[in-house]
Amino acid sequence: MVYRDLATMKEAETVRTRPLVRLRPGYLQLVTGPRAIFVYERRGRLVRAVLDGHAFQVGLDNRVLEKWQEGGQAGLRGRHRRWLTPSAALELRERARQAAALCLHQLESLPILAETGEGKAEVARWLARASAYDEARWQADAAAFARVYSPISILPPDQYDSLVLQATLGCSYNRCTFCSFYRDRAFRIRRPEEFREHVRAVQELVGEGISYFHQVFLADANALIIPQRLLLSIFEIARRALPQLANPGIYSFLDVFGGLRKNARDFAELSALGLQMVYLGIESGSRDLLRFLNKPGGPEETAAVVEAIKGGGVAVGLIFLVGAGGRQYREKHFQETLRLLSELPLDGRDVIYLSPFVEEAASEYTQVAEEEGVEPLSENEILEEVRRLWQGIEAIAWTANQGRPRVTLYDIREFIY
């Protein structure tokens, strides 16, 4: 039986002992048991699964991130994550392939919830593709991904479902002591011809699976630093090639020092071409802490850049690195970040990201911290700082009448693309 909405299906299927097939825009979901869900994009490739309360996300490079909440601990403290070993990832893929094959075999007797208006024939084709997605195909995908992309080092947490287009490679600065995301490559801006070719290669890579993506993310680190005329060409190319994604929106990173090179009119031009939000790695409202982190800028520069972006009609995503600077900078970081935030013209379109600091062993940060006697905070202390800052932000009385910015967590250990 094919149902068009959940309410009708629930009414008809009061006792559900059989698997359920659900077709949603961009993906097909199989519920094969009370605690087993598999999700496939249109090519039949597994993109995520939930098994016994553990969530699995599959990257385009075939890596799988497993996340779960432990021991009744609510919130940040109970969150756990790990990367599956290659053999465990293979086992998951095979389990998903077999689930698709079984559902295809039993399709005549299964309830189908098709929210896209498509019928049983399309479900059958989709399941056939998923049940034929063998290891050779997975390995070919990973190899193609490595050819098309430079490593995608990080994305904001609400951009994992964006189609990434690399307009630049690396970071134009690359010297913040705490950040090693782009140390493996020299900064370079793609010329329009090369970018057009990259977009074509990305389209070929994802094929029909493109319907799984929601919008465009222009990478790498601070892609919006591209000189304005060239950047407008890059936006035009993305829009022309991918109107179905660029029209919902184009998103990108910028740093404060790069933002100072643009004004409200520049951002208004980009807004007219689809730019929805600029993610700014601010890290802290404390100039002293930024100096310690070797990151250019300070609260006055941040305020000027945020005003220019918002003056151009674009929302901001402001990222703060909670726990950086350890015990010595803790109070200054907290107080001056709150002061900065309370002075910014934020509203309901904006988001504040609190990113717990993850210190890499033998990093430049560790070396400088040792030299200056900066004592690290424990993981629990960092989470406590996240909680404290979150509460402090919630208490700010913003004057804008278009709502308050949302506050959310940005855990770089949970990044997968």
| Residue 182 sits in the site that holds ligand SF4 (CB under 6 A) | yes
| Residue 295 sits in the site that holds ligand SF4 (CB under 6 A) | yes
Query: What is the footprint of ligand SF4 within residues 257-286 (CB under 6 A)?
Result: 281
Number of residues that bind ligand SF4 (CB under 6 A): 11
Minimum distance, C-beta of residue 156 to ligand SF4, in the bound complex (Å): 13
Which residue stretch of 169-177, 225-233, 241-249, 385-393 sits at the interface with ligand SF4 (rule: CB under 6 A)? Answer: 169-177
Minimum distance, C-beta of residue 355 to ligand SF4, in the bound complex (Å): 11
Q: Which C-beta is closer to ligand SF4: that of 268 or that of 368? A: 368
Q: Which C-beta is closer to ligand SF4: that of 68 or that of 187? A: 187
259 close to 309: Cβ distance less than 8 angstroms: yes
Q: Which C-beta is closer to ligand SF4: that of 22 or that of 295? A: 295
| Residue 152 sits in the site that holds ligand SF4 (CB under 6 A) | no
Specify the amino acid at residue 294.
N
Minimum distance, C-beta of residue 306 to ligand SF4, in the bound complex (Å): 16
Q: Which C-beta is closer to ligand SF4: that of 274 or that of 326? A: 326
| Residue 324 sits in the site that holds ligand SF4 (CB under 6 A) | no
| Residue 171 sits in the site that holds ligand SF4 (CB under 6 A) | yes
Which residue stretch of 56-64, 115-123, 168-176, 322-330 sits at the interface with ligand SF4 (rule: CB under 6 A)? Answer: 168-176
Please give the backbone phi and psi of residue 342, each rounded to the nearest 5 degrees, phi first.
Answer: -65, -15
Q: Which C-beta is closer to ligand SF4: that of 97 or that of 295? A: 295
| Residue 292 sits in the site that holds ligand SF4 (CB under 6 A) | no
| Residue 174 sits in the site that holds ligand SF4 (CB under 6 A) | yes
Minimum distance, C-beta of residue 295 to ligand SF4, in the bound complex (Å): 6
> Rounded to an integer, what distance in angstroms lies between the CA atom of residue 224 and that of residue 274?
13
| Residue 173 sits in the site that holds ligand SF4 (CB under 6 A) | yes
Please list the residues that pair with 252 across neighbouring strands.
218, 278
Minimum distance, C-beta of residue 374 to ligand SF4, in the bound complex (Å): 18
Which residue stretch of 105-113, 118-126, 175-183, 382-390 sits at the interface with ligand SF4 (rule: CB under 6 A)? Answer: 175-183
Going edge to edge, which strands form the sheet with 250-254?
162-166, 215-219, 250-254, 275-283, 315-322, 351-356, 406-409
Minimum distance, C-beta of residue 151 to ligand SF4, in the bound complex (Å): 13
Applying CB under 6 A, which of residues 176, 202, 231, 340 lies at the interface with ligand SF4? 176
Q: Which C-beta is closer to ligand SF4: that of 182 or that of 292? A: 182
Applying CB under 6 A, which of residues 20, 179, 223, 322 lies at the interface with ligand SF4? 179
Peptide bond into 161 cis (omega under 30): no
Here's the x/- map for ligand SF4, 208-247, by CB under 6 A: it reads as -------------x--------------------------
Q: Which C-beta is closer to ligand SF4: that of 114 or that of 171? A: 171
Q: Which C-beta is closer to ligand SF4: that of 127 or that of 221? A: 221
393 close to 340: Cβ distance less than 8 angstroms: no
| Contacting residues toward ligand SF4, per CB under 6 A | 171, 173-174, 176, 179, 181-182, 221, 255, 281, 295
